[in-house]
């Protein structure tokens, strides 16, 4: 008879059997895993024909009754996903996925729909040889929790900025350890707030510190120069997946992904020509963005919205039970060029989200019945992010009335106030430190909005910078800052100044507790936000 230990113990035992690097597992491990899964071992007719699964599995875009499963084969193969509410895969269900082919770099994804609410789902991905259906890969396992139909505690994490500024996978340091720290906190899901990769940031074999000690990176050809070809953009995502901490995290924590600039190149905007960066032979940022977007959609567990052939729409929303809805913005695709950002009227140059995305966000916010509405913004609202000496990269442009891109934000904040939309919280990353900001109309230049909170987290195994200047247009007040005001730029992960955030929503009180944590997982700051009734 099957035993029924606690769900958390099931999860840990289950993941210990996970074939995270399935492509390298030999026949003896196949036999061992087949016993765990309660199946007879497959007859190995030719190991050379057996597909490998070198980079594990991932789950993403989880919502009330569905989740997206991602993986990558090492050759043409059919993706198959088996799933169950039992770790022993009793009453297993099987879903036949697409072929992983060369045109997608052998990546594949499959949506699991009509999932039971409030359950731990165990799944395994198998790749089937297209020439011989009797030959399949070693199963690679993962797990996730579905949102509860009724009110239940929610706990999730967020952060951004992975493997930037030359800080890559250092085995002596333990790899990208912050992903293991987050995994151990057992979040329901994770919001990656952009800069999933640094396509413009080559990883050197080593970095020498002032005291003579050396940081040693794993390197690959694709990460040794700026990404220009599609293969090089893909290689940036593959590089991160070489880290065992990242693979374990992906197999256990669903990811909601958005992109920012470094998925293409620093501070890019549509139509930009890279005249002053001699590292690039391809100067057209829009062409680089086309290749970067394709790699992003191939390697992140993200749905293709609307028409499957239209891969341009990255903004989307997720309902996670009655207490939470998440709105994922795209602040890169539709923006105007970076300027001095001081225009007095809205125009093409002041666009940041653009009219269509703004209309979508307003409608979704107004129709949402969730207690809490989290807006995931890949760039902060009130922090000044410069692009060169005269131009600006984000919303803010320095103190004063709402101008330039701030006009779009002012219109959105005014809409939230005038339509009595309650309990809106903003989460972001980008600036490579953690902070808590309270936006107070009583201290602002533009005052027609409801007070709100913005929380900043990151980086995740990248250089630490900051702090940035605050713009007083919307009255932000610093309530917490994770770094000293005189921090030397580009501090390495080994100094411990790596940060992520967590959010817990209590199902009984509906209070939202936001925490900011360091590399070890220590809570540096926490605040309880009672909901507006």
Give the number of C-alpha atoms closer than 13 A to the C-alpha of residue 99, restricted to the C-beta side: 10
Strand partners, 136: 128
How far is the first Cα of the chain from the last one, in angstroms, to the nearest whole number? 49
> Would you say residue 9 has pLDDT above 80?
no
Domain membership of residue 454 (yes or no) is: yes
For residue range 24-63, list pLDDT tens digits in order. Answer: 333 333 333 333 334 444 444 567 899 999 999 999 999 9
Q: Specify the number of domains making up the chain.
A: 2
My answer on whether 258 and 400 are in the same domain is yes
331 assigned to some structural domain:
yes
User: Helix, strand, or coil here: 455?
Assistant: strand
Average of per-residue pLDDT across 349-370: 96
- 134 neighbors 325 (Cβ within 8 angstroms): no
Indicate if 119 and 162 belong to the same structural domain: no
- Is residue 39 located within the same domain as residue 183? no
Give residue 356's domain range.
154-529
CB count within 10 Å of CB 241 equals: 17
- Rounded Cα gap, residues 195 and 202, in angstroms: 14
Averaged pLDDT, 389-418:
97
Of 100, 121, 145, the residue that ends a domain is: 145
pLDDT at position 176 is 98
Verify that 246 and 349 share a domain, yes or no.
Answer: yes
Same-domain pairing of 250 and 375: yes
Would 343 be classed as within a structural domain? yes
Indicate whether 2 belongs to any domain: no
Whether residue 276 sits in one domain with residue 252: yes
Task: Determine how β-strand 391-392 pairs with β-strand 424-428.
Answer: unpaired
Same domain membership, residue 261 and residue 215 = yes
Has residue 1 been placed in a domain? Answer: no
Residue 276 lies in a domain: yes
Element (H, E) at 387: strand 386-387
Let me know if 17 is exposed, middle or buried by CB neighbors in 10 A (0-12, 13-18, 19+): middle
Q: Are residues 66 and 168 in the same domain?
A: no
Whole-model pTM?
A: 0.91
Q: Specify the CATH number for the domain of residue 252.
A: 3.60.21.70
Domain end call among 94, 125, 145: 145
Mean pLDDT of 370-396: 97
Same structural domain, 125 and 175:
no
Max Cα-Cα span within the chain: 73
In a domain, 349, yes or no: yes
- Answer whether 313's CB lies under 8 Å from 306's CB: yes
The 10s digit of each residue's pLDDT in 225-278 is 999 999 999 999 999 999 999 999 999 999 999 999 999 999 999 999 999 999
Shared-domain flag, residues 115 and 207: no
Residues 187 and 71 in one domain: no
Q: Which of 78, 113, 145 is the last residue of a domain?
A: 145
When pLDDT is averaged across residues 83-104 and rounded to a whole number, the result is 96
Question: Is there a single domain that holds both residue 236 and residue 369?
Answer: yes
**371 domain residue, yes or no:** yes
State pLDDT tens for residues 54-68: 999 999 999 989 999
């Amino acid at each position: 008879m099957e035993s029924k230990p606690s769900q958390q113990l099931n999860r840990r035992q289950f993941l210990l059997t996970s074939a995270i690097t399935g492509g390298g597992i030999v026949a003896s491990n196949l036999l061992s895993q087949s016993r765990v899964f309660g199946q007879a071992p497959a007859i190995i007719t030719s190991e050379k024909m057996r597909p490998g699964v070198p980079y594990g599995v991932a789950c993403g875009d989880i919502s009330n009754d569905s989740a997206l499963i991602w993986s990558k084969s090492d050759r043409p193969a059919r993706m198959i996903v088996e799933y169950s509410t039992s770790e022993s895969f009793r009453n297993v269900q099987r879903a036949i996925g697409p072929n992983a082919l060369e045109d997608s770099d052998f990546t594949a994804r499959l949506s699991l729909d009509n999932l039971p609410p409030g359950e731990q789902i165990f799944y395994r991905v198998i790749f089937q040889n297209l020439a011989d259906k009797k030959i399949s890969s070693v199963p690679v396992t993962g797990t996730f929790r579905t949102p509860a139909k009724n009110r239940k505690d929610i706990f999730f994490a967020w952060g951004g900025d992975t493997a930037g500024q030359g800080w890559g996978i250092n085995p002596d340091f333990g790899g990208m350890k912050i992903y293991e720290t987050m995994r151990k906190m057992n979040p329901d899901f994770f919001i990656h707030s952009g800069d999933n990769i640094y396509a413009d940031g080559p990883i050197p074999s080593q970095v020498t510190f002032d005291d003579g000690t050396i940081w040693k990176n794993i390197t690959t050809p694709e990460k040794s120069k700026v990404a220009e070809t599609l293969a090089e953009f893909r290689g940036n995502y593959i590089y991160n997946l070489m880290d065992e901490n990242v693979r374990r995290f992906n197999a256990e924590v669903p990811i909601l992904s958005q992109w920012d600039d470094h998925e293409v190149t620093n501070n890019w905007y549509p139509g930009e020509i890279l005249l002053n960066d001699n590292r690039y032979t391809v100067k057209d940022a829009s062409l680089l963005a086309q290749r970067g977007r394709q790699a992003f959609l191939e390697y992140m567990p993200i749905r293709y919205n609307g028409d499957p052939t239209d891969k341009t729409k990255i903004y989307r929303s997720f309902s996670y039970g009655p207490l939470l809805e998440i709105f994922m913005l795209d602040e890169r695709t539709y923006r105007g060029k970076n300027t001095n950002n001081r225009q007095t009227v809205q125009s093409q140059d002041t666009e940041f989200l653009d009219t269509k995305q703004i209309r979508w966000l307003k409608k979704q916010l107004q129709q949402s019945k969730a207690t809490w509405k989290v807006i995931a913004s890949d760039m902060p609202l009130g922090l000044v992010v410069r692009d060169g000496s005269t131009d600006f990269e984000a919303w803010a442009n320095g103190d004063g009335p709402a101008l330039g891109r701030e006009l779009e934000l002012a219109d959105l904040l005014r809409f939230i106030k005038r339509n009595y939309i309650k309990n809106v919280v903003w989460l972001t990353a980008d600036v490579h430190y953690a902070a808590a900001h309270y936006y107070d109309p009583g201290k602002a230049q533009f005052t027609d909005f409801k007070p709100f909170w913005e929380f900043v987290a990151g980086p995740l195994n990248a250089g630490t910078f900051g702090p940035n200047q605050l713009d007083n247009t919307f009255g932000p007040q610093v309530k917490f800052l994770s770094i000293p005001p005189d921090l030397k730029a580009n501090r390495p992960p080994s100094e411990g100044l790596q940060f992520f955030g967590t959010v817990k929503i209590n199902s009984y009180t509906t209070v939202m507790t936001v925490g900011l944590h360091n590399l070890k997982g220590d809570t540096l700051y926490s605040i309880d936000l009672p909901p507006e009734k």
